[in-house]
Amino acid sequence: MSRTNVNKSLKRTKLSDKQSERDHRDLRIDKVGVRGLRFPIQVRDKAHAVQNTVATIGLFVDLPKEFKGTHMSRFVEVLNAHGEIIHVENIRDMLIELQDKLKAATSHIEMEFPYFMSKKAPVSGRESLMDYVARFDACACAKEVDFVLTVKANVTTLCPCSKAISIHGAHNQRGEVTVAVRFRKPIWIEDLISIMESSASSELYALLKREDEKAVTERAYDNPVFVEDLVRNVALKLNAHADVTWYKVEAENQESIHNHNAYACIEKSIGGEKS
């Protein structure tokens, strides 16, 4: 059958809308939608004005109990309606558009993406790119929007107990720090990274020459921190930040002499904000 005949046949045939059919199980769904979409986005960069990257995106709405399903194609339509690159300033508009297009009371967007910063080695000054993970979680109820920024950074931690009891050296490990914040005014991703890295025994670098490796090793030895110290150091700096209204700090060390990881977490609301 030719394409013309197919189109004529479709026009004559009424396609059923199964998603809009009545559901009798009397159960509302909190979030339904699409996850795992990859799409180019543009985020603000403290050093270069903007940074282009690729996000893994999820789009969701609530589904009233009377409907059998949602219309998945409409989520992708909303995403693509804002052009070939998503600007994060459009997130609020996208949330409202999801509600309108899918007749929903609430909408949610999640975006996770690699974020790159140029760093200089501490002694040689050799420059290289470091990658981090950043994430936006935004939800809207009617036009009230809640936004959480999450950033992950890897660091070095050296064990204070090991240093105290050992004649030679001390065991160290790579730790992952995760900071999620709500804020009054936008906070730079770079500033959160700086808070995390300065709270550890040492920050990491993509490129180190021998003189740099010596400096980093000695810096870590002179600044031992438990995983508990790490989250407390970050929390103290967030407590002092004028624009942070809520935070959650997590740290997980991939222990080098144990067959388990060490973990700590602090969560706090500042000024009566919701947690």
Q: pLDDT per residue over 164-208, tens digit each?
A: 999 998 999 999 999 999 999 999 999 999 999 999 999 999 999
Q: For the structural domain made of 121-275, what CATH number should be given?
A: 3.10.270.10
Contacts for 90 with CB less than 8 Å, ≥ 6 apart:
82
State the Cα–Cα distance between residues 32 and 102, nearest whole angstrom: 11
Burial class (CB in 10 A: 0-12, 13-18, 19+), 240: exposed
Looking at domain 24-113, does it have CATH number 3.30.1510.10? no
Which tokens is 55 given?
A: 């996000």
Phi, psi of 27 (to 5 degrees): -130, 115
Which tokens is 255 given?
A: 């222990």
State the Cα–Cα distance between residues 232 and 238, nearest whole angstrom: 10
Q: What's the pTM?
A: 0.88
CATH 3.10.270.10 domain range(s) in the chain: 24-113, 121-275
Q: pLDDT per residue over 126-151, tens digit each?
A: 999 999 999 999 999 988 999 999 99
Report whether 153 contacts 238 (CB < 8 A). no
Coil, strand or helix at 249:
strand
Amino acid in position 171: H
The dihedral of CA 267, 250, 212, 124: what is its sign?
Answer: negative
Q: pLDDT per residue over 20-38, tens digit each?
A: 556 567 788 889 999 999 9
Contacts for 158 with CB less than 8 Å, ≥ 6 apart:
170, 171, 172, 201, 202, 220, 221, 223, 224, 225
> Which is more confidently placed, 22 or 76?
76
